[in-house]
Structure 1
């Protein structure tokens, strides 16, 4: 798909980061191609499907002292409450199951 847009791998040399021609001033992030480490955790949480679920599980496994853990858990908790109020498709239902774990794993 990205080839049709003439996207190319970014000069930052991170898998999953692509740039469109400079006239577009656009960078595309393919969250499922990002390295699975802390530096990409937040972007992968914003992804979807198995990439997103894996990133959320990684967040749960982080030490309580991880700088952004509390903030991210708070945001996910708000997202969970927002999703509770709407109709859920299959993908959203899977996400809700995972997000429901937040209250049990958060130590706030």
Structure 2
């Protein structure tokens, strides 16, 4: 059970007003992991398109995409993909990407 792979990874610099899709996938193809996106400002359950953030409703079937549209500076921060596995209760793996939104 490996850490999830996030693309793009590391640090992302993006211009205000742009769109960004973060993708989380299972590098080991280990069966049925569960995926969730979490960020600095909100839990995954609160991510919706009211503030330009849309969570693709795929939970048990990778990849899991997080789409940020018409990004503003408030979208800057850490976005973490967390995976758990039905056969390994209580164990979780995470990978974080940092997004910096720059003014036009």
Which category describes the TM-score, using the shorter chain as reference length? under 0.3
Q: Could you state the TM-score of these two structures normalised by the residue count of structure 1? A: 0.22
Q: Which has the higher helix share?
A: 1
Task: Return the TM-score normalized by structure 2.
Answer: 0.23
The structure with the largest strand share of the pair is 2
